[in-house]
Amino acid sequence: MVGIGFDKRRKRWTAPARKESLEYLRAAFGPDCLIWSGGGAADAKEQGRPHPPARQQPAARGPKRSFPPKVLPVHWQNALHRTEEQLKVRRYSWRTVKSYLSHLRRFLADHSKLTLEQVTSEVIRTYIVKRTEAGSYSEATQNQLLNAIKFWLEQVEGREKAFIQLRPKEPKKLPGVLSMEEVSRLFQATDNLKHRCILKTIYSGGLRLGELCNLRIQDIHSDRKQIFVSSGKGKKDRYTTLSDSLLVELREYFKEYRPSYWLFEGQSGGQYSRRSVQAILRKAVDKSKINAHATVHTLRHSYATHLLESGTSLRHIQDLLGHASSKTTEIYTHLSNEERQRIISPLDRLNRDHKK
Protein backbone atom coordinates (compact mmCIF):
# COMPACT_ATOMS: atom_id res chain seq x y z
CA MET A 1 0.00 0.00 0.00
CA VAL A 2 1.29 3.43 -0.92
CA GLY A 3 2.24 5.59 2.06
CA ILE A 4 3.22 2.88 4.54
CA GLY A 5 6.81 3.27 5.66
CA PHE A 6 9.24 3.01 8.54
CA ASP A 7 9.90 6.19 10.54
CA LYS A 8 13.60 5.94 11.42
CA ARG A 9 13.46 8.84 13.88
CA ARG A 10 10.55 7.45 15.90
CA LYS A 11 11.51 3.83 15.15
CA ARG A 12 8.05 2.69 14.19
CA TRP A 13 5.90 1.94 11.16
CA THR A 14 3.47 4.62 10.03
CA ALA A 15 0.50 4.69 7.66
CA PRO A 16 -1.71 7.46 6.26
CA ALA A 17 -4.71 8.36 8.44
CA ARG A 18 -7.21 7.15 5.89
CA LYS A 19 -9.98 4.59 5.67
CA GLU A 20 -7.88 2.63 3.16
CA SER A 21 -5.20 2.13 5.85
CA LEU A 22 -7.70 0.52 8.20
CA GLU A 23 -9.01 -1.77 5.48
CA TYR A 24 -5.46 -2.76 4.49
CA LEU A 25 -4.44 -3.58 8.09
CA ARG A 26 -7.60 -5.57 8.75
CA ALA A 27 -7.15 -7.53 5.53
CA ALA A 28 -3.51 -8.29 6.39
CA PHE A 29 -3.79 -9.08 10.12
CA GLY A 30 -7.46 -9.83 10.78
CA PRO A 31 -10.46 -7.82 11.96
CA ASP A 32 -9.26 -7.65 15.58
CA CYS A 33 -5.75 -6.38 14.85
CA LEU A 34 -6.47 -2.77 15.91
CA ILE A 35 -6.80 -1.88 19.58
CA TRP A 36 -8.19 1.57 20.30
CA SER A 37 -7.67 3.36 23.61
CA GLY A 38 -8.88 6.71 24.90
CA GLY A 39 -12.10 8.54 24.21
CA GLY A 40 -12.89 7.37 20.70
CA ALA A 41 -13.15 9.71 17.73
CA ALA A 42 -12.16 12.89 19.57
CA ASP A 43 -8.98 11.42 21.03
CA ALA A 44 -8.16 9.75 17.74
CA LYS A 45 -8.42 13.03 15.88
CA GLU A 46 -6.32 14.79 18.50
CA GLN A 47 -3.59 12.15 18.28
CA GLY A 48 -3.52 12.34 14.49
CA ARG A 49 -4.81 8.86 13.78
CA PRO A 50 -8.02 7.60 12.15
CA HIS A 51 -10.80 7.01 14.63
CA PRO A 52 -12.50 3.60 14.77
CA PRO A 53 -15.64 3.33 12.66
CA ALA A 54 -18.91 3.73 14.48
CA ARG A 55 -20.40 0.48 15.71
CA GLN A 56 -23.39 -0.47 13.63
CA GLN A 57 -26.69 -1.41 15.25
CA PRO A 58 -27.70 -5.04 14.76
CA ALA A 59 -30.24 -5.74 12.05
CA ALA A 60 -33.85 -5.97 13.12
CA ARG A 61 -34.25 -9.39 11.53
CA GLY A 62 -32.10 -12.47 11.25
CA PRO A 63 -30.17 -14.50 13.83
CA LYS A 64 -28.08 -12.61 16.32
CA ARG A 65 -24.35 -13.30 16.01
CA SER A 66 -22.63 -14.56 19.14
CA PHE A 67 -18.95 -13.83 19.72
CA PRO A 68 -16.65 -15.78 22.02
CA PRO A 69 -15.43 -14.04 25.16
CA LYS A 70 -12.31 -11.97 24.56
CA VAL A 71 -10.52 -13.01 27.76
CA LEU A 72 -9.70 -16.71 28.12
CA PRO A 73 -9.58 -18.46 31.50
CA VAL A 74 -6.08 -18.75 32.93
CA HIS A 75 -5.71 -22.47 32.17
CA TRP A 76 -6.62 -21.86 28.51
CA GLN A 77 -4.29 -18.85 28.30
CA ASN A 78 -1.47 -21.11 29.47
CA ALA A 79 -2.44 -23.76 26.91
CA LEU A 80 -2.42 -21.16 24.12
CA HIS A 81 0.95 -19.85 25.26
CA ARG A 82 2.50 -23.34 25.37
CA THR A 83 1.14 -24.06 21.89
CA GLU A 84 2.65 -20.87 20.52
CA GLU A 85 6.03 -21.74 22.04
CA GLN A 86 5.94 -25.26 20.57
CA LEU A 87 5.02 -23.95 17.11
CA LYS A 88 7.91 -21.49 17.19
CA VAL A 89 10.39 -24.07 18.52
CA ARG A 90 9.48 -26.33 15.62
CA ARG A 91 10.04 -23.39 13.25
CA TYR A 92 6.57 -23.28 11.76
CA SER A 93 6.08 -20.30 9.46
CA TRP A 94 4.62 -17.18 11.04
CA ARG A 95 1.55 -17.54 8.83
CA THR A 96 0.92 -21.07 10.14
CA VAL A 97 1.50 -19.92 13.72
CA LYS A 98 -0.96 -17.06 13.25
CA SER A 99 -3.62 -19.31 11.69
CA TYR A 100 -3.26 -22.15 14.21
CA LEU A 101 -3.44 -19.80 17.20
CA SER A 102 -6.47 -18.02 15.76
CA HIS A 103 -8.34 -21.31 15.28
CA LEU A 104 -7.29 -22.61 18.70
CA ARG A 105 -8.13 -19.37 20.51
CA ARG A 106 -11.66 -19.46 19.16
CA PHE A 107 -12.06 -23.13 20.07
CA LEU A 108 -10.86 -22.54 23.64
CA ALA A 109 -13.06 -19.45 24.01
CA ASP A 110 -16.05 -21.50 22.90
CA HIS A 111 -15.24 -24.07 25.61
CA SER A 112 -14.09 -21.74 28.38
CA LYS A 113 -15.85 -23.74 31.10
CA LEU A 114 -14.23 -27.06 30.19
CA THR A 115 -10.97 -28.50 31.49
CA LEU A 116 -8.38 -30.32 29.40
CA GLU A 117 -9.70 -33.70 30.51
CA GLN A 118 -13.18 -32.77 29.28
CA VAL A 119 -12.01 -31.99 25.73
CA THR A 120 -12.95 -35.28 24.10
CA SER A 121 -13.10 -36.32 20.46
CA GLU A 122 -16.87 -35.83 20.58
CA VAL A 123 -16.46 -32.25 21.81
CA ILE A 124 -14.11 -31.54 18.91
CA ARG A 125 -16.41 -33.27 16.45
CA THR A 126 -19.43 -31.24 17.59
CA TYR A 127 -17.47 -27.98 17.42
CA ILE A 128 -16.17 -28.56 13.90
CA VAL A 129 -19.61 -29.54 12.64
CA LYS A 130 -21.07 -26.39 14.20
CA ARG A 131 -18.39 -24.16 12.68
CA THR A 132 -18.68 -25.64 9.20
CA GLU A 133 -22.46 -25.32 9.26
CA ALA A 134 -22.34 -21.72 10.51
CA GLY A 135 -19.86 -20.35 7.99
CA SER A 136 -18.85 -20.79 4.38
CA TYR A 137 -15.70 -22.75 5.21
CA SER A 138 -13.54 -24.08 2.43
CA GLU A 139 -12.15 -27.60 2.63
CA ALA A 140 -8.66 -26.21 3.28
CA THR A 141 -9.87 -24.05 6.21
CA GLN A 142 -11.68 -26.98 7.79
CA ASN A 143 -8.51 -29.05 7.51
CA GLN A 144 -6.45 -26.28 9.07
CA LEU A 145 -8.92 -25.95 11.96
CA LEU A 146 -8.63 -29.67 12.67
CA ASN A 147 -4.83 -29.58 12.35
CA ALA A 148 -4.59 -26.72 14.86
CA ILE A 149 -6.60 -28.60 17.49
CA LYS A 150 -4.74 -31.85 16.84
CA PHE A 151 -1.36 -30.09 17.16
CA TRP A 152 -2.33 -28.68 20.53
CA LEU A 153 -3.63 -31.96 21.93
CA GLU A 154 -0.96 -34.27 20.49
CA GLN A 155 2.21 -32.15 20.37
CA VAL A 156 1.61 -29.94 23.43
CA GLU A 157 -0.65 -31.89 25.77
CA GLY A 158 0.76 -35.33 24.90
CA ARG A 159 -2.49 -36.97 23.82
CA GLU A 160 -2.31 -40.10 21.70
CA LYS A 161 -2.74 -39.53 17.98
CA ALA A 162 -6.34 -39.95 16.99
CA PHE A 163 -7.70 -39.45 13.51
CA ILE A 164 -10.96 -37.57 13.75
CA GLN A 165 -13.16 -38.51 10.79
CA LEU A 166 -14.00 -34.95 9.91
CA ARG A 167 -11.54 -34.27 7.12
CA PRO A 168 -13.45 -33.07 4.09
CA LYS A 169 -13.01 -34.61 0.70
CA GLU A 170 -11.10 -31.98 -1.20
CA PRO A 171 -12.20 -31.36 -4.79
CA LYS A 172 -9.77 -32.43 -7.49
CA LYS A 173 -9.61 -29.12 -9.34
CA LEU A 174 -7.15 -28.46 -12.14
CA PRO A 175 -5.18 -25.21 -11.76
CA GLY A 176 -5.62 -22.46 -14.31
CA VAL A 177 -2.94 -22.12 -16.99
CA LEU A 178 -2.18 -19.35 -19.48
CA SER A 179 -1.07 -20.02 -23.02
CA MET A 180 2.34 -18.72 -24.07
CA GLU A 181 0.58 -16.08 -26.17
CA GLU A 182 -1.36 -14.91 -23.08
CA VAL A 183 1.83 -14.75 -21.01
CA SER A 184 3.43 -12.64 -23.73
CA ARG A 185 0.45 -10.25 -23.75
CA LEU A 186 0.64 -10.01 -19.95
CA PHE A 187 4.26 -8.86 -20.08
CA GLN A 188 3.60 -6.45 -22.95
CA ALA A 189 0.84 -4.81 -20.91
CA THR A 190 3.29 -4.09 -18.07
CA ASP A 191 5.09 -0.85 -18.94
CA ASN A 192 6.91 -0.33 -15.64
CA LEU A 193 10.37 -1.97 -15.79
CA LYS A 194 10.35 -3.07 -12.14
CA HIS A 195 6.85 -4.51 -12.34
CA ARG A 196 7.64 -6.35 -15.56
CA CYS A 197 10.79 -7.86 -14.01
CA ILE A 198 8.75 -9.06 -11.03
CA LEU A 199 6.24 -10.91 -13.22
CA LYS A 200 8.92 -12.28 -15.53
CA THR A 201 10.97 -13.56 -12.57
CA ILE A 202 7.96 -15.51 -11.29
CA TYR A 203 7.37 -17.07 -14.70
CA SER A 204 11.07 -17.60 -15.49
CA GLY A 205 11.60 -19.75 -12.40
CA GLY A 206 8.11 -20.99 -11.53
CA LEU A 207 8.26 -19.17 -8.20
CA ARG A 208 5.66 -18.97 -5.49
CA LEU A 209 4.60 -15.51 -4.32
CA GLY A 210 6.53 -15.71 -1.05
CA GLU A 211 9.62 -17.05 -2.80
CA LEU A 212 9.63 -14.04 -5.14
CA CYS A 213 9.41 -11.58 -2.23
CA ASN A 214 12.21 -13.40 -0.37
CA LEU A 215 14.70 -13.24 -3.27
CA ARG A 216 17.95 -11.49 -2.46
CA ILE A 217 20.32 -9.93 -4.96
CA GLN A 218 22.80 -12.72 -4.26
CA ASP A 219 20.21 -15.33 -5.26
CA ILE A 220 20.53 -14.40 -8.94
CA HIS A 221 23.36 -16.55 -10.32
CA SER A 222 23.92 -14.96 -13.70
CA ASP A 223 26.99 -17.09 -14.50
CA ARG A 224 25.03 -20.33 -14.02
CA LYS A 225 21.72 -18.96 -15.38
CA GLN A 226 19.98 -20.05 -12.20
CA ILE A 227 17.85 -18.56 -9.43
CA PHE A 228 18.53 -19.83 -5.93
CA VAL A 229 15.38 -20.26 -3.84
CA SER A 230 16.26 -20.22 -0.15
CA SER A 231 13.90 -21.94 2.30
CA GLY A 232 10.97 -22.41 -0.05
CA LYS A 233 7.85 -24.29 0.94
CA GLY A 234 8.74 -26.98 3.44
CA LYS A 235 11.96 -25.03 4.23
CA LYS A 236 13.68 -26.57 1.22
CA ASP A 237 16.40 -24.87 -0.84
CA ARG A 238 16.46 -25.37 -4.60
CA TYR A 239 17.75 -23.95 -7.86
CA THR A 240 15.48 -23.02 -10.72
CA THR A 241 15.83 -21.50 -14.18
CA LEU A 242 16.89 -17.96 -15.08
CA SER A 243 16.18 -16.93 -18.67
CA ASP A 244 18.65 -14.93 -20.76
CA SER A 245 16.07 -12.30 -21.66
CA LEU A 246 15.12 -11.80 -18.01
CA LEU A 247 18.78 -11.40 -17.06
CA VAL A 248 19.13 -8.53 -19.56
CA GLU A 249 16.10 -6.75 -18.06
CA LEU A 250 17.24 -7.43 -14.48
CA ARG A 251 20.52 -5.66 -15.24
CA GLU A 252 18.61 -2.65 -16.57
CA TYR A 253 16.36 -2.74 -13.51
CA PHE A 254 19.35 -2.89 -11.15
CA LYS A 255 20.98 0.15 -12.76
CA GLU A 256 17.79 2.17 -12.46
CA TYR A 257 16.51 1.14 -9.01
CA ARG A 258 19.71 0.13 -7.17
CA PRO A 259 18.23 -2.32 -4.61
CA SER A 260 20.42 -2.72 -1.53
CA TYR A 261 19.68 -6.26 -0.31
CA TRP A 262 16.39 -7.71 -1.53
CA LEU A 263 16.09 -8.17 -5.26
CA PHE A 264 12.79 -6.27 -5.23
CA GLU A 265 12.32 -3.63 -2.57
CA GLY A 266 9.51 -1.25 -1.66
CA GLN A 267 9.57 2.50 -2.10
CA SER A 268 10.94 2.97 1.43
CA GLY A 269 13.26 -0.04 1.30
CA GLY A 270 12.69 -3.48 2.76
CA GLN A 271 11.00 -6.45 1.16
CA TYR A 272 8.45 -5.89 -1.56
CA SER A 273 5.02 -6.79 -0.18
CA ARG A 274 2.97 -9.71 -1.42
CA ARG A 275 -0.08 -7.53 -1.87
CA SER A 276 1.87 -5.19 -4.12
CA VAL A 277 2.89 -8.11 -6.34
CA GLN A 278 -0.73 -9.25 -6.51
CA ALA A 279 -1.81 -5.73 -7.43
CA ILE A 280 0.77 -5.62 -10.26
CA LEU A 281 -0.53 -8.91 -11.65
CA ARG A 282 -4.16 -7.81 -11.39
CA LYS A 283 -3.45 -4.56 -13.22
CA ALA A 284 -1.60 -6.41 -16.00
CA VAL A 285 -4.41 -8.97 -16.33
CA ASP A 286 -7.03 -6.24 -16.67
CA LYS A 287 -4.98 -4.32 -19.22
CA SER A 288 -4.02 -7.35 -21.34
CA LYS A 289 -7.59 -8.73 -21.40
CA ILE A 290 -6.41 -12.29 -20.73
CA ASN A 291 -8.07 -14.82 -18.41
CA ALA A 292 -9.64 -12.69 -15.69
CA HIS A 293 -9.18 -15.46 -13.10
CA ALA A 294 -5.38 -15.51 -13.46
CA THR A 295 -3.38 -15.08 -10.25
CA VAL A 296 0.30 -14.91 -9.38
CA HIS A 297 0.27 -18.67 -8.89
CA THR A 298 -1.14 -19.09 -12.40
CA LEU A 299 2.26 -17.99 -13.73
CA ARG A 300 3.89 -20.82 -11.77
CA HIS A 301 1.40 -23.36 -13.19
CA SER A 302 1.95 -21.97 -16.68
CA TYR A 303 5.73 -22.28 -16.29
CA ALA A 304 5.45 -25.97 -15.38
CA THR A 305 2.95 -26.73 -18.14
CA HIS A 306 5.04 -25.00 -20.81
CA LEU A 307 8.14 -26.89 -19.65
CA LEU A 308 6.27 -30.18 -20.01
CA GLU A 309 5.05 -29.22 -23.48
CA SER A 310 8.63 -28.42 -24.54
CA GLY A 311 9.78 -31.93 -23.58
CA THR A 312 11.16 -31.43 -20.05
CA SER A 313 10.74 -34.57 -17.94
CA LEU A 314 8.39 -34.62 -14.96
CA ARG A 315 11.33 -35.48 -12.70
CA HIS A 316 13.17 -32.29 -13.65
CA ILE A 317 10.00 -30.21 -13.33
CA GLN A 318 9.47 -31.65 -9.85
CA ASP A 319 12.94 -30.48 -8.80
CA LEU A 320 12.50 -27.04 -10.35
CA LEU A 321 9.17 -26.49 -8.61
CA GLY A 322 10.31 -27.93 -5.28
CA HIS A 323 7.53 -30.54 -5.05
CA ALA A 324 7.98 -33.15 -2.33
CA SER A 325 5.93 -35.73 -4.22
CA SER A 326 5.93 -36.60 -7.91
CA LYS A 327 2.15 -36.97 -7.69
CA THR A 328 1.87 -33.21 -7.23
CA THR A 329 3.84 -32.64 -10.42
CA GLU A 330 1.82 -35.17 -12.40
CA ILE A 331 -1.17 -32.83 -12.40
CA TYR A 332 0.50 -30.90 -15.23
CA THR A 333 0.06 -33.85 -17.55
CA HIS A 334 -3.65 -33.03 -17.42
CA LEU A 335 -2.96 -29.43 -18.44
CA SER A 336 -0.62 -29.92 -21.39
CA ASN A 337 -2.44 -28.80 -24.54
CA GLU A 338 0.19 -30.19 -26.94
CA GLU A 339 -0.01 -33.59 -25.27
CA ARG A 340 -3.77 -33.57 -25.77
CA GLN A 341 -3.45 -32.54 -29.40
CA ARG A 342 -1.30 -35.60 -30.10
CA ILE A 343 -4.07 -37.88 -28.85
CA ILE A 344 -6.31 -39.15 -31.66
CA SER A 345 -9.95 -39.69 -30.82
CA PRO A 346 -11.17 -43.28 -31.43
CA LEU A 347 -13.94 -41.74 -33.56
CA ASP A 348 -11.36 -40.24 -35.94
CA ARG A 349 -9.56 -43.57 -36.21
CA LEU A 350 -12.87 -45.30 -36.86
CA ASN A 351 -13.73 -42.90 -39.69
CA ARG A 352 -10.20 -43.17 -41.12
CA ASP A 353 -10.23 -46.98 -41.07
CA HIS A 354 -13.71 -47.03 -42.62
CA LYS A 355 -12.53 -44.92 -45.57
CA LYS A 356 -9.75 -47.38 -46.20
Catalytic sites, residue numbers = 208, 233, 297, 300, 323, 332
What is the Cβ-side half-sphere exposure of residue 11, based on CA atoms within 13 angstroms?
Answer: 0
Pairing of strands 238-241, 226-229: antiparallel
Find the distance separating the first CA and the last CA of the chain, reported in whole Å: 67
At 228 the three-state DSSP class reads strand
Pairwise CA distance, residues 331 & 160, whole Å: 35
Contact 238, 211 (CB under 8 A): no
In the chain, DSSP assigns E strands to: 5-7, 12-14, 220-221, 226-229, 238-241
From the CB of residue 206, how many other CB atoms can be counted at a distance below 10 Å?
23
At 244 the three-state DSSP class reads helix
